């Protein structure tokens, strides 16, 4: 039912668990944990054929069928024993699907992870939630966009939860002379990976040079008991760097070790907790970043008369022109048509189906290493991120041009 995370393999336990197991075997700093193998999920859904059910009746029917099955006999007892080895504190329960974190598609943010889980009964329910998330609407749409329509399986990682002081994402370089890209903010990692905060951006050159762009970090996410609580960042800390140059270099060095252990450039989620830097996840980089990931210091050309030019972080290369569609929540999804430019405060995994339709993306908040930016790059959709007040300055249904390579958005608003 359960294997130590250090013994996990991709074949038996899914991609996320397999990568973390390889990193533990390479003596890299990964939080202690265990994995629920893929075949436990397979046993739980035997006879259901959830993929067929999803195709015939929709993903919701597949989810309901999975959640309607009791947990396999012995799972609760196995998890109780596993939790006893982790000190009795809160744990993170993370998806480890057979089709995520792959070289041809990350499935970034498509499956469920639950942080700050207390007690064996809640852990069992979190494991079942991970299983059911195989057929979340967004996950089904993502697989459909990649042309994958099989029967994936779900492993699950159960790890010691870290109350991070600082966390973020790092892309290791694709070539020896290339730079490491790091985004970081205060508190727990979902703020950065889900794009709900403007993170600091660090570019660490091969020779150790560090270029920093400090963001206005207004919110953070922290654990309070068994809940994750967003709260405001104190004004003195909003524009204070999260990492100094030495921190950034140490992270880049850790990233090189991760890439060496896993055999290629990696998208690494990391956290600083208990005075130590930890690796929470590593997966292959699936699509190259734009050459720059911060706004250009060179002033943009003067706009044509009556046009407005906005700048942000270049998130996904390319150029697209379409009608701006201002979307503030799911109620607005139906207004986005093929080729429209999605303009929103930020995007979360629930918005992934829009990226199959939209011609480009503009967000007010979020970094270029966030889940939404990763999916945009995989789709080949131009994206400009962190454009202040974009939903107010870009009028709905007005023609907009998005240059995701330069980080420039132009609209003909008078």
**Residues 23-52 pLDDT 10s:** 999 999 999 999 999 999 999 999 888 888
Which helix (H) or strand (E) covers residue 75, if one does? Answer: helix 75-84
Which helix (H) or strand (E) covers residue 253, if one does? Answer: helix 245-262
Give the tens place of pLDDT for each residue, 66-82: 999 989 989 999 999 99
Mean pLDDT of the chain: 89
Please give the pLDDT value at position 352.
76
- Domain ranges for the chain: 3-160, 166-284, 308-411
Active site residue 371: yes
Give the tens place of pLDDT for each residue, 291-301: 654 555 554 55
Q: In this structure, which topology does domain 308-411 adopt according to CATH? A: Glucose Oxidase; domain 1 (3.50.30)
Q: Does CATH number 3.30.1490.20 belong to domain 3-160?
A: yes
Please give the pLDDT value at position 330.
85
Residue 140 has pLDDT above 80, yes or no: no
Percent of all residues in the chain with a pLDDT value above 70, rounded to a whole number = 91
Give the residue-averaged pLDDT of 178-199. 93
**Catalytic site residue from 49, 148, 161, 371:** 371
What is the spatial distance between Cα 366 and Cα 218, in angstroms, rounded to a whole number? 12
Domain 166-284 in CATH: superfamily?
ATP-grasp fold, B domain (3.30.470.20)
Q: Which two tokens stand for residue 114?
A: 């639950």
Residue indicated by tokens 């259901």:
48
CA angle 373, 367, 99 (to 5 degrees): 40
What is the spatial distance between Cα 4 and Cα 18, in angstroms, rounded to a whole number? 11
Give the tens place of pLDDT for each residue, 82-101: 999 998 899 999 999 987 76
């Amino acid at each position: 039912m359960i294997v130590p995370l250090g013994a996990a393999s991709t074949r038996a336990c899914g991609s996320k668990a397999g990568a973390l197991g390889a990193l533990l075997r390479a003596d890299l700093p990964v939080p202690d944990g265990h994995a629920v193998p893929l075949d436990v999920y397979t046993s739980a859904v035997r006879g259901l054929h959830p993929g067929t059910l999803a195709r015939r009746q929709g993903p919701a029917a597949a989810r309901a069928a999975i959640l309607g099955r009791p947990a396999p006999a012995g799972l609760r007892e196995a998890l109780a024993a596993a939790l006893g080895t982790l000190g009795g504190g809160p744990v993170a329960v993370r998806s480890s699907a057979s089709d995520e974190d792959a070289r041809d598609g990350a499935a970034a943010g498509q499956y469920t992870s639950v942080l700050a889980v207390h007690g064996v009964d809640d852990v069992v329910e979190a494991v079942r939630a991970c299983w059911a998330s195989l057929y979340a609407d967004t996950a089904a749409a993502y697989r459909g966009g990649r042309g994958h329509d099989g029967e994936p399986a779900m492993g699950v990682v159960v790890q010691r939860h870290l109350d991070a002081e600082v966390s973020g994402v790092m892309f290791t370089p694709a070539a020896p002379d290339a730079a490491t890209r790091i985004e970081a903010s205060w508190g727990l990692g979902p703020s950065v990976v889900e794009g709900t905060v403007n993170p600091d951006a660090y570019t660490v050159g091969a020779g150790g040079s560090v270029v920093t762009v400090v963001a206005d970090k207004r919110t953070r996410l922290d654990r309070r008991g068994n809940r994750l609580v967003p709260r405001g960042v104190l004004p003195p800390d909003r524009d204070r760097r999260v990492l100094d140059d030495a921190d950034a270099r140490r992270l880049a060095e850790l990233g090189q070790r991760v890439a060496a252990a896993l055999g290629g450039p990696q998208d690494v989620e990391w956290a600083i907790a208990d005075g130590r830097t930890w690796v929470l996840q590593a997966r292959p980089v699936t699509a190259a970043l734009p050459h720059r990931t911060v706004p250009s210091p060179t002033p943009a050309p003067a706009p044509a008369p009556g046009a407005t030019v906005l700048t942000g972080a270049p998130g996904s290369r390319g150029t697209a022109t379409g009608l701006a569609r201002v979307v503030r929540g799911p109620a607005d999804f139906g207004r986005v048509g093929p080729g429209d430019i999605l303009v929103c405060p930020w995007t979360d995994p629930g918005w992934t189906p829009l990226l199959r339709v939209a011609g480009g993306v503009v967000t007010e908040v979020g970094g270029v290493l966030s889940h939404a930016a990763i999916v945009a790059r995989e789709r080949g959709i131009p994206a400009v991120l962190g454009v202040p007040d974009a939903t107010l300055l870009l009028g709905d249904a007005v023609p907009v041009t998005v240059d995701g390579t330069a980080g420039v958005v132009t609209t003909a608003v008078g």
